Chain A
Amino acid sequence: MDTAPGVSATHALSDPPGVGARLAALLQRRSVLPTLLLVPVLLFFIVWNTVPTLWLLGLSFYRFSLTSGRPPIFTGFGNFESILQDSEVWLALSRTFLFVILAVGIETVLGLLLGLLFWNSQRLPGRRVALTMLFTPMVLTPVAAGTFWRLIYDPTFGVLSAMLRGLGLPTVNFLGDARTAFGSVLAVDVWMWTPFMVLMTLAALASVPKAELEAAEIDRLSFLQRLRLVILHHGKFILMLGILLRTIDAFKTMDLIYDMTFGGPGSTTQLVAIMLYRRAFEVFSMGWSSALAVILLLISIAFTATFIFVLHARERRKQDMPA
């Protein structure tokens, strides 16, 4: 039988040993209610995050093809051995690291420059509109961005090719040519994620105390001195955070490339995430791809550990500073 909550509460007041009263007492204990409120999120996290991860971990020790219909066969570290001996994996990994270093490097430098530009032009009319427009790539779905960049890059119908033709230059098959594909994909990633570094730069700049900037102005420090002694001193942690977030994210780049080149031509744009996807959902060798996923997870954890270390370094600094 259903009882309205109000009814049970009144009942509980008049009859202390009742279920309602015990429930109310339990809820009043400090730890119970917050735990109760956390349960849905925890459940969600366990069902959609922890269980698949553990499953993945388990699967990585098996040989299992989704299409063969045969049950998984335990192979121990067989998958890992095969991955570490696979030159294609190493190639994809080194390609991914190159991609991450170049993308994050360029995005950081561009982001810093654009951020400083925006910051120094606070009285410029139209600054807000420009900022909003700058941030649009970042909010796009990568797949959508990939699709329209594929159209822009298209050698026959693409805007870029049309412009090259208009200038009397030979057209380039940006995504189809093995020499230009990697650079073209990289350019799109830079286009998409530079705004994020602009945002981080602006946040970093906002963390610089105004008085210190004014003192630097009074002391006639040069731009580089100001950048080194004042701005980076206060903003480096936020910038570092941005760089680390970008690194972790760039390492997982999949959807953007999936839509533009799908790893081709050849395997010139095949980053590990693409490789993983193809092995899992084209070849269906689930055990092998699970093992690769575990390795990638470990690399991501290494990045995250660095990230947390840097954050803690900031905390330690704060504690060291006299009040």
Chain B
Amino acid sequence: MSEIVLRGVGRAFGATQAVQPTDFTFPDGSVTCLLGPSGCGKTTLMRMIAGLDTPTGGRILFDGRDVTGKPARDRDVAMVFQYPVMYRTLSVAENVELALRDDRRLSAAGRRARVDEVLEVMQLQDRRAAGIDALDVGTRQRVAVARAVARDCAVILFDEPTTNVEVHAKTQLIRAFKQFRARLRQTIIYVTHDQTEAMTLADRIALMRDGAITQCDAPHALYDRPESAFGGWFLGNPGMNFLEPRPQGGVARFDGFPSPFRLPDGDPEGLQLGIRPERILVGPAGALPVPAQVLRRAITVGGQYLLLLRAGSATLRARTPPRAPFAPGDTVSIECPISHAAFFRHGQRLVAQPRMTEDVHA
């Protein structure tokens, strides 16, 4: 159990700043997902915490202990890699036990009990004597997780553990992850670019972009109230719709909204309105305030439809319930609830949200 504190930790490769100087705290016993697109520096940040890479600036503290220059073996961390890393000549059980061999806190019997327990949680009991070469990638990755968990160390790091694993094994892995989470309270950092995974596993998601953590919040909070347009765009499938304002002397009109908005400082420069596709209501023509046209229709998980709509000069994506009776070419009506709209200026969320004017038919 350990609290991890980053103080100005950054990493430059030559002229490229892979990780901007970052101040951040990973609370003791929490699961934090580092989420972001490829190349955003999330893996580099994790590797510095693991001790596999050295920061070019700043300090890393584990429970107040400075570990910045220390090698990985002195940090009491376990790690699961993107590719399942196994000791090929050993069996499954031996692989799990290997990292425990030098643990003086455990007796031989205690070690065996620990291995048995972990193998059970990972549903690997029946493969315990199997050689690694006989296992598929997904099972190997579960062995890797078992090995990391068995150590019972302060911090476990996951570096995109499901990326190279097929779908079924992925769900198995995630289930196993949740199970061992229920039993053990270790500080976990989980790097992923898969938002669904981050949403399901994390206590908190740290959203990363261009080497910096742009926002850190509970999954639903991050989803509902992204601090940046990037967060709105990156989270969700598809991400937020973004609308550009048409200024009209002090007020700004957005396609999809019946009335113009009064701007806090009257300045429409760099302003964007974001709204999530599942928040847009779609009804038959005339039923809702704003008329729109269905351009395309795509079916998604669970038979829901994803509609591409044109309202005024804007195109919007909206998610509708299964079997909604709208087809391409249809004229429909929509409503974008103002309570679910977010305003951004130059990509950053506006503190003072613009208000819609009263004149509904302006």
Contacts of B147 in A (CB 8 A): 219
Residue of A whose beta carbon sits closest to that of B53: A214
Residue of A whose beta carbon sits closest to that of B82: A211
B281 on interface, CB distance cutoff 8 Å: no
Q: Is the beta-carbon distance between A218 and B78 smaller than 8 angstroms?
A: yes
Q: Is the beta-carbon distance between B72 and A217 smaller than 8 angstroms?
A: yes
Q: Is the beta-carbon distance between A218 and B72 smaller than 8 angstroms?
A: yes
Q: Is the beta-carbon distance between B72 and A212 smaller than 8 angstroms?
A: no
Instruction: Please measure, in the bound complex, the distance between the C-alpha atom of A225 and the C-alpha atom of B100, giving whole angstroms.
Output: 13
Number of A-B contacts (CB under 8 A): 52
- Name the prevailing secondary structure of the B interface residues: loop
B267 on interface, CB distance cutoff 8 Å: no
B87 on interface, CB distance cutoff 8 Å: yes
Contacts of A225 in B (CB 8 A): 98
Residue of A whose beta carbon sits closest to that of B83: A211
Q: Is the beta-carbon distance between A220 and B102 smaller than 8 angstroms?
A: yes
| Given A233-B89, A322-B133: A214 and B72 interface contact (C-beta under 8 Å) | yes
Chain A residues 177-212 with CB under 8 Å of chain B are 209, 211-212
A230 on interface, CB distance cutoff 8 Å: yes
Instruction: Please measure, in the bound complex, the distance between the C-alpha atom of A230 and the C-alpha atom of B151, giving whole angstroms.
Output: 19
| Given A220-B73, A229-B90, A322-B136: A215 and B85 interface contact (C-beta under 8 Å) | yes
Chain A residues 61-89 with CB under 8 Å of chain B are none
Contacts of A215 in B (CB 8 A): 79, 81, 85
Chain B residues 19-37 with CB under 8 Å of chain A are none
Chain A: minimal CB distance from B83 (Å): 6
Q: Is the beta-carbon distance between A219 and B81 smaller than 8 angstroms?
A: no
A320 on interface, CB distance cutoff 8 Å: yes
Contact string, A218-236, partner B, CB cutoff 8 A, digits 1/0?
1111100100011001000
| B77 CB contact (under 8 Å) in A211, A218, A229, A320 | A218
Residue of B whose beta carbon sits closest to that of A214: B52
Q: Is the beta-carbon distance between B52 and A217 smaller than 8 angstroms?
A: yes
| B99 CB contact (under 8 Å) in A209, A220, A233, A320 | A220
A41 on interface, CB distance cutoff 8 Å: no
A124 on interface, CB distance cutoff 8 Å: no
Contacts of A322 in B (CB 8 A): 133-134, 136
Residue of A whose beta carbon sits closest to that of B89: A233
Number of interface residues of B (CB under 8 A): 25
Instruction: Please measure, in the bound complex, the distance between the C-alpha atom of A221 and the C-alpha atom of B87, giving whole angstroms.
Output: 11
B104 on interface, CB distance cutoff 8 Å: no
Chain B residues 122-179 with CB under 8 Å of chain A are 133-134, 136, 147, 151
Q: Is the beta-carbon distance between A320 and B133 smaller than 8 angstroms?
A: yes
Contact string, B66-108, partner A, CB cutoff 8 A, digits 1/0?
0000011100011101110101111000000011001000000
| B98 CB contact (under 8 Å) in A221, A233, A320 | A221
Chain A: minimal CB distance from B47 (Å): 8
Residue of A whose beta carbon sits closest to that of B77: A218
B50 on interface, CB distance cutoff 8 Å: yes
Instruction: Please measure, in the bound complex, the distance between the C-alpha atom of A233 and the C-alpha atom of B89, giving whole angstroms.
Output: 8
Chain B: minimal CB distance from A102 (Å): 30
Q: Is the beta-carbon distance between A222 and B102 smaller than 8 angstroms?
A: yes
Instruction: Please measure, in the bound complex, the distance between the C-alpha atom of A114 and the C-alpha atom of B50, giving whole angstroms.
Output: 29
Q: Is the beta-carbon distance between A211 and B98 smaller than 8 angstroms?
A: no
Q: Is the beta-carbon distance between A233 and B88 smaller than 8 angstroms?
A: yes
- The contact sample of 6 A-B pairs, CB cut-off 8 A, is A214-B79, A215-B81, A218-B77, A219-B99, A229-B98, A322-B133
Q: Residues on B close to A: CB < 8 A?
A: 50-52, 71-73, 77-79, 81-83, 85, 87-90, 98-99, 102, 133-134, 136, 147, 151
Beyond A218-B50, A229-B98, list 10 extra A-B contacts (CB 8 Å): A211-B81, A214-B52, A217-B52, A217-B71, A218-B77, A221-B98, A225-B98, A229-B90, A233-B89, A322-B134
